[in-house]
Amino acid sequence: DGGITQSPKYLFRKEGQNVTLSCEQNLNHDAMYWYRQDPGQGLRLIYYSQIVNDFQKGDIAEGYSVSREKKESFPLTVTSAQKNPTAFYLCASSIGLAGGPWETQYFGPGTRLLVL
């Protein structure tokens, strides 16, 4: 089945530690996205990537980093510089970023990050 997988489902971070959230898709989509969701809030964009080896900052990129070495994979690292990392993180993908009606974003199941 085609889809987006995220792992782990739950992740615990110690103070000063970097952690990496995994996102994989087998939909052959070019574009991938990372969102953060806080309680009572909508989703906010952290980073997005239109193509392999290219990515752009979203609205709240500080304290996060990403890589896009493969089309299928878009891992997100939460660095120690992110002072309030506790949140729900959602990965999404779309065919591309050209702006057409087919550019609907499909989401993975999410990762819940908690700070110890």
Among 27, 30, 43, 71, binds another protein (CB under 8 A): 43
Note whether 110 and 92 are within 8 A (CB): no
Q: Are 102 and 95 in contact (CB under 8 A)?
A: yes
Asked if 25 is part of the footprint of another protein (rule: CB under 8 A), the reply reads: no
30-49 burial: b if 16+ Cβ within 10 Å, else e: bbbbbbbeeeeeebebbbbb
85 binds another protein, rule: CB under 8 A: no
Q: Applying CB under 8 A, which part among 13-21, 61-69, 77-85, 105-113 lies near another protein? A: 105-113
Residue 45 contacts another protein per CB under 8 A: yes
Structure tokens given for 114: 């908690």
Residue type, 7: S
Contact flag: residue 2 with another protein (CB under 8 A): no
CB of 101 to another protein, least distance (A): 5
Per CB under 8 A, the list member of 40, 52, 64, 74 interacting with another protein is 40
